[in-house]
Amino acid sequence: MRDDIDRGACVIALDVGGTGMKGALLDHALRPVLTLRRPTPRAAGPDAVLDEIVAALAALAERAAEHGLPVRQAGVVVPGIVDEELGRAVYSANLGWRDLPLAELLARRTGLPVVLGHDVRAGGLAEASLGAARGKRDVLFVAIGTGIAAALLTDGRPVRGGGYAGELGHLVVDLDGAPCGCGGRGCLETVASASAVAAAYTARSGRSVQGAEQVAVLLAQGDADAAAVWARTADALATALASGVTLLAPELIVLGGGLAEAGTLLLEPVRSALAQRLTFQRRPELVRAGLGDEAGCLGAGLYAWQAVGQPVSSRQTPAVS
């Protein structure tokens, strides 16, 4: 593909989360031409989510045409178990999918070439290429949002395990804990996901909150119930991370997703609790994601450009607003 063509082209990137979708038209340097955000209608069922993804891709393609930009590829990343090679959403507890040929369905309904990826592995790719993990070879990237999952980089290579690797959110941290959407009980997601943090605060205090962000604000204001919920969250995260460190020996752990936006309010107690659990293990540095909650969208753009044989230079450090 000629460089003069690429400079006037773009890819569509869409990160589908359990709560919302982040989309963008990205040029070859992963600079956003424009962006799009929509809620994920998961309460309406898996078919409604699929319809909304199609609508988001169509809206972005229409905007690209309005700007005279040829779309080379669409990159879509979703949560759950994803087989990238087959383009299938194997399983998603949050979105209700099972063995869905998602890339094929989206391509058929939109007329776009579509490459499918896992949202957190895409975020890990972006952080390794452009963000906080750049230059590191052994990395554990953990995204904490509606769900919790990890991307693994070992000796510089991503670990996929047929799409099953990295499900940190389903490590059991409380044998007598709450039921999880995966069918298990006491999974990390039932304690430390953003929705679990908000629900735990409401159950403990009797006061409803809009989300985990509000719990973080209350914590900073000295709220005792927020402090108790936050301490349990940090403790559960440290327990799961200690297992990951023992098995994988990362040199760096990167915390991303919405909950990590709390910054040191989250990082410091997790660092302390993790250090208490480690004895002989390699002690990793623990940092906040450099790309914020945009890592998944940028990773989807990386997948798209790679699919057309145009890898993006790691010297770029763009951001999607």
Domain carrying residue 269? 132-289
CATH of the domain at 270: 3.30.420.40
11, 149: one domain = no
Closest CA to 154 of 279, 244, 277: 244
Distance of CA 317 to the CA centre of its chain: 18
3 state SS of 166: coil
Tell me the CB-side half-sphere exposure of residue 161, using CA atoms within 13 A. 12
267, 303: one domain = no
pLDDT value at residue 145: 87
pTM: 0.87
pLDDT value at residue 257: 87
137, 75: one domain = no
Residue 313 lies in a domain: no
Q: Counting beta carbons within 10 angstroms of the beta carbon of residue 146, is it exposed (0 to 12), middle (13 to 18) or buried (19 or more)?
A: buried
DSSP 60-90: HHHHHHHTT--EEEEEEEESSEEETTTTEEE
Angle, CA 173 vertex, CA 172 and CA 178 arms, to 5°: 80
187, 200: one domain = yes
Please enumerate in sequence order all residues whose Cβ is within 8 A of that of 38, keeping only pairs 6 or more positions apart, or say none. Answer: 20, 21, 23, 52, 55, 56
pLDDT at 7 over 70: no
Residue 318 lies in a domain: no
102, 180: one domain = no
Report the alpha-carbon distance of residue 123 to residue 151 in Å, rounded.
8
Write the pLDDT tens digit of every residue in 288-306.
999 988 899 999 999 999 9
Are 120 and 166 in contact by the 8 Å Cβ rule? The answer is yes
The top-scoring range by mean pLDDT among 18-27, 77-86, 230-239 is 230-239
Residue 315 lies in a domain: no
Closest CA to 205 of 213, 195, 215: 215
pLDDT at 278 over 90: yes
Please enumerate in sequence order all residues whose Cβ is within 8 A of that of 280, keeping only pairs 6 or more positions apart, or say none. Answer: none
Are 196 and 155 in contact by the 8 Å Cβ rule? The answer is no
211, 109: one domain = no
Report the alpha-carbon distance of residue 149 to residue 141 in Å, rounded.
8
Kindly list the distances between the CA atom of residue 114 and the CA atoms of 194, 239, 275, 303, in Å, as whole numbers in the listed order. Answer: 30, 38, 43, 10
Residue 101 lies in a domain: yes
pLDDT band at 315 (very low <50, low <70, confident <90, very high): very low
Angle, CA 240 vertex, CA 236 and CA 242 arms, to 5°: 115
91, 187: one domain = no
Q: Work out the end-to-end distance of the chain between its first and last CA atoms, rounded to an integer number of angstroms.
A: 29
80, 189: one domain = no
**Alpha-carbon torsion, ordered 205, 148, 56, 309, to 10 deg:** 160
Q: How many domains does the chain have?
A: 2
Strands in the chain per DSSP E: 10-16, 20-26, 32-39, 71-78, 81-83, 88-92, 97-100, 114-118, 139-144, 148-154, 157-159, 252-256, 285-288
Write the pLDDT tens digit of every residue in 203-220.
999 999 989 999 999 999
Residue 75 lies in a domain: yes
pLDDT at 170 over 50: yes
Q: Counting beta carbons within 10 angstroms of the beta carbon of residue 309, is it exposed (0 to 12), middle (13 to 18) or buried (19 or more)?
A: exposed
136, 285: one domain = yes
Beta strands across the sheet bearing 114-118: 32-39, 20-26, 10-16, 71-78, 114-118
Residue 314 lies in a domain: no
247, 141: one domain = yes
Residue 138 lies in a domain: yes
pLDDT above 70 covers a percentage of the chain that reads 95
Mean pLDDT over residues 253-271, rounded? 94
DSSP code of residue 183: S
Residue 52 lies in a domain: yes
Angle, CA 204 vertex, CA 199 and CA 207 arms, to 5°: 75
pLDDT value at residue 18: 84
pLDDT band at 181 (very low <50, low <70, confident <90, very high): confident
Mean pLDDT over residues 128-141, rounded? 94
57, 95: one domain = yes
285, 302: one domain = no
Are 298 and 11 in contact by the 8 Å Cβ rule? The answer is no
